[in-house]
């Protein structure tokens, strides 16, 4: 899939697997240069056609000699495009240009001290004689290819960096993209701006201006519809479309009654009162609760909620007549064609829209070139409030996945109040940006307690708070005991029917973040 933006010089990151390519692409963008990830086996012809301003070869988990190891089209190295290779990337370069990669079985993992050998070199120009870098490799280059100068080493790796400035080829065995490498971002910026001479044009203002131009071009005078959930992605899509096409946009907010305290009001306030978006607010709690009556199976609950969402949404869309476009908050990580088959993760389940018979919309996905941190920055620049821009992840089915057993209005009210206390107290301790997710869960059990002179038989609330980078793995957050004590006290005193509070100390795996 090609997304290149017309007016932006583009850096292509060849993805040799594992998690490195996305990180590199983000670092390049932090240097204000637009970047995209492409599979490692992209052909030299395709690269030449796309005319990138530079290439970066990512690291990867394989050994260059392993059977089935990913290899690039070696003709790419002859195109005259500035190329920077990291880790596996340096080995690919050495392999195809006649260097030698002996099998030593001596790997190097973690911190290492880099010693610059050639102060006159280009890539490491300006670095101190020694600095800290991050290594993660088993093989390493033994002899650099003809034409290359070895520019740095570590105690275990004789060729920690090499370059052939006449061919504009540069490579490091260490990982400049990880934060542990002391001057990593400086190296990347120096390569992009000074060596490849790419201007820093990928700025927030530019991103928004280009997106607005593209939307206007695509949509023309047509009408667009957008589903609002109150989450970051749909909110930013709505704000961006509103900036681009104003009242050609209608937003439909399907309020299933399972949002957190005050969230529905906030969505309405921000979009209707502040942005003056044409907003249809569908209050559908009763409709949802009657469908969910007696349902306890988590998968069935999810299915009912998901299907009903689209029914309600399309009912509203039909009433609007003459709408051609449906806007969606698809992000770049959802559409990357990964270099490694294992990491291939087109998140179609988030994006498959079951159009009913006879209904069709063209999709418009104005965020599909952006990473999440860029989406938040765009949202902030467009004037969305902090509570929306920095909102913690919240599942589409909302509090339904945090009520175990049957969902009722009373249980939703109870959970909403407990959850609001958890959020308020985390905020009071200034931990909202540090903890990935924090919320309350209402399980389907009751236990005995005592309040005043009376015996109680009430529900517990479980507090869940996790540290995570991407929700794939997570650890339970080590919240201060005093904070937990405060939450517990307040929940028991302020939320009727709750007589006990527990804290979930399970990591993921083996647990999941949500209960269900
Ligand atoms: P689990 O519970 O599987 O959750 O560890 C991983 C992350 O995904 C979020 N989540 C969802 N997000 N729609 C979403 O957009 C959903 O249906 C959904 N279910 C779980 C969850 O909050 C966590 O961040």
The answer to whether the CB of 511 is under 6 A from ligand 1 is no
- Kindly give the distance from the C-alpha atom of residue 514 to the centroid of ligand 1, in angstroms, as a whole number: 7
Residue ID of nearest Cα to ligand 1 atom 18: 395
Q: What are phi and psi of 228, to 5 degrees?
A: -105, 135
Residue ID of nearest Cα to ligand 1 atom 10: 395
Integer angstrom CA distances of residue 514 from 193, 285, 326, 410: 44, 22, 30, 21
Per the CB < 8 A criterion, the answer to whether 284 and 310 are in contact is: no
Look at residue 56 in the predicted model and tell me its pLDDT: 98
The answer to whether the CB of 512 is under 6 A from ligand 1 is yes
- Kindly give the distance from the C-alpha atom of residue 200 to the centroid of ligand 1, in angstroms, as a whole number: 35
The whole-angstrom separation of Cα 25 and Cα 34 is 8
- Kindly give the distance from the C-alpha atom of residue 19 to the centroid of ligand 1, in angstroms, as a whole number: 20
The answer to whether the CB of 504 is under 6 A from ligand 1 is no
Classify strands 223-228 and 323-327 as parallel, antiparallel or unpaired: parallel
Per the CB < 8 A criterion, the answer to whether 464 and 475 are in contact is: no
CA proximity to 57, closest of 98, 99, 96: 96
Classify strands 447-451 and 454-467 as parallel, antiparallel or unpaired: antiparallel
Look at residue 7 in the predicted model and tell me its pLDDT: 73
Q: List, in sequence order, the alpha helices (H) in 32-162.
A: 44-50, 88-97
The whole-angstrom separation of Cα 163 and Cα 85 is 10
Indicate which atom in ligand 1 lies nearest the CA of residue 512: 5
- Kindly give the distance from the C-alpha atom of residue 420 to the centroid of ligand 1, in angstroms, as a whole number: 19
- Kindly give the distance from the C-alpha atom of residue 515 to the centroid of ligand 1, in angstroms, as a whole number: 10
Look at residue 350 in the predicted model and tell me its pLDDT: 44
Indicate which atom in ligand 1 lies nearest the CA of residue 437: 24
Indicate which atom in ligand 1 lies nearest the CA of residue 436: 24
Along the 516 residues of the chain, how does pLDDT read in single tens digits?
A: 455 566 789 999 999 987 889 999 999 999 999 999 999 999 999 999 999 999 999 999 888 888 899 999 999 999 999 999 999 999 999 999 999 998 877 788 899 999 999 989 999 999 999 999 999 988 899 999 999 999 999 999 999 999 999 999 999 999 999 999 999 999 999 999 999 999 999 999 999 999 999 999 999 999 999 999 989 999 999 999 999 999 999 999 999 999 999 999 999 999 999 999 999 999 999 999 999 999 999 999 999 999 999 999 999 998 998 999 999 999 998 888 655 443 433 333 344 566 788 888 999 999 999 999 999 999 999 999 999 999 999 999 999 999 999 999 999 999 999 999 999 999 999 999 999 999 999 999 999 999 889 999 999 999 999 999 889 999 999 999 999 999 999 999 999 999 999 999 999 999 999 999
User: In which residue are the tokens 């904070």 written?
Assistant: 483
Domains of the chain: 10-195 (3.40.50.880), 221-389 (3.40.50.620), 408-503 (3.30.300.10)
The answer to whether the CB of 32 is under 6 A from ligand 1 is no
The whole-angstrom separation of Cα 439 and Cα 382 is 28
pTM of the model: 0.89
The whole-angstrom separation of Cα 285 and Cα 211 is 35
The answer to whether the CB of 395 is under 6 A from ligand 1 is yes
The answer to whether the CB of 397 is under 6 A from ligand 1 is yes
Per the CB < 8 A criterion, the answer to whether 279 and 254 are in contact is: no
Per the CB < 8 A criterion, the answer to whether 66 and 101 are in contact is: no
Task: Please give the span between the terminal C-alpha atoms of the chain, in angstroms, as a whole number.
Answer: 36
Per the CB < 8 A criterion, the answer to whether 33 and 53 are in contact is: yes
Q: What is the DSSP string of 340-406?
A: SGGG----HHHH---PPTT---EEE-TTTT--HHHHHHHHHHTT--HHHHTPPP--TTGGGGGB-S-
Probe residue for ligand 1, chosen from 298, 402, 514, 516 as the CB with the greatest number of ligand atoms within 8 Å: 514
């Amino acid at each position: 899939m090609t997304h290149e933006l017309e007016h932006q010089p583009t850096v292509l990151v060849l993805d040799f697997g594992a998690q490195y390519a996305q990180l590199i692409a983000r670092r390049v963008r932090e240097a204000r240069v637009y970047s995209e990830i492409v599979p490692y086996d992209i052909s030299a012809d395709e690269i030449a056609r796309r005319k990138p301003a530079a290439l970066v070869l990512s690291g990867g988990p394989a050994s260059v000699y392993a059977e089935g190891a990913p290899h690039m089209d070696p003709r790419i190295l002859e195109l005259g495009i500035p190329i920077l290779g990291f880790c596996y990337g340096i080995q690919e370069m050495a392999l195809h240009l006649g260097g030698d990669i002996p099998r030593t079985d001596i790997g190097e993992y973690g911190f290492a001290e880099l010693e610059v050998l050639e102060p006159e070199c280009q890539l490491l120009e300006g670095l101190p004689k020694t600095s800290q870098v991050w290594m993660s490799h088993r093989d390493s280059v033994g002899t650099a290819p003809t034409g290359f100068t070895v520019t740095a080493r570590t105690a275990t790796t004789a060729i920690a960096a090499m370059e052939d400035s006449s061919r504009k080829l540069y490579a490091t065995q260490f990982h400049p993209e990880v934060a542990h490498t002391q001057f990593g971002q400086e190296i990347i910026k120096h390569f992009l701006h000074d060596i490849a001479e790419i201007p820093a044009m990928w700025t927030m203002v530019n991103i928004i201006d280009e997106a607005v131009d593209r939307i206007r071009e695509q949509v023309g005078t047509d009408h667009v519809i957008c589903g609002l959930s109150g989450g970051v992605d749909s909110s930013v899509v709505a704000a961006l479309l509103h900036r681009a096409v104003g009242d050609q946009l209608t937003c439909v907010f399907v309020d299933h009654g399972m949002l957190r305290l005050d969230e529905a009001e906030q969505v309405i306030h921000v979009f209707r009162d502040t942005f003056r978006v044409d907003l249809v607010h569908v209050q559908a709690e009763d409709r949802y609760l009657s469908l969910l009556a007696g349902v306890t199976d988590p998968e069935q609950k999810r299915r009912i909620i998901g299907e009903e969402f689209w029914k309600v949404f399309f009912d509203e869309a039909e009433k609007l007549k003459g709408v051609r476009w449906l806007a969606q908050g698809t992000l770049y990580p959802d559409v990357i064609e990964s270099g490694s088959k294992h990491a291939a993760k087109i998140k179609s389940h988030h994006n498959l829209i079951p159009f009913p018979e006879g209904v069709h919309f063209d999709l418009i996905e104005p965020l599909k070139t952006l990473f999440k941190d860029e989406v938040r920055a765009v949202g902030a620049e467009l004037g969305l409030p902090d509570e929306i821009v920095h909102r913690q992840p919240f599942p589409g089915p909302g509090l339904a996945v945090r009520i175990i057993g049957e969902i009722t209005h009373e249980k939703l009210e109870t959970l909403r109040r407990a959850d609001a206390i958890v959020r308020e107290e985390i905020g009071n301790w200034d931990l909202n940006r540090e903890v990935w997710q924090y919320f309350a869960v209402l399980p389907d059990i009751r236990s005995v307690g005592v309040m005043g002179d009376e015996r109680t038989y009430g529900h517990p609330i479980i507090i869940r708070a996790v540290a995570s980078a991407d929700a794939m793995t997570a650890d339970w957050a080590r919240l201060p005991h005093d904070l937990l004590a405060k939450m517990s006290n307040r929940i028991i005193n302020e939320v009727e029917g709750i007589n006990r509070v527990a804290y979930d100390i399970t990591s993921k795996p083996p647990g999941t973040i949500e209960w269900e």
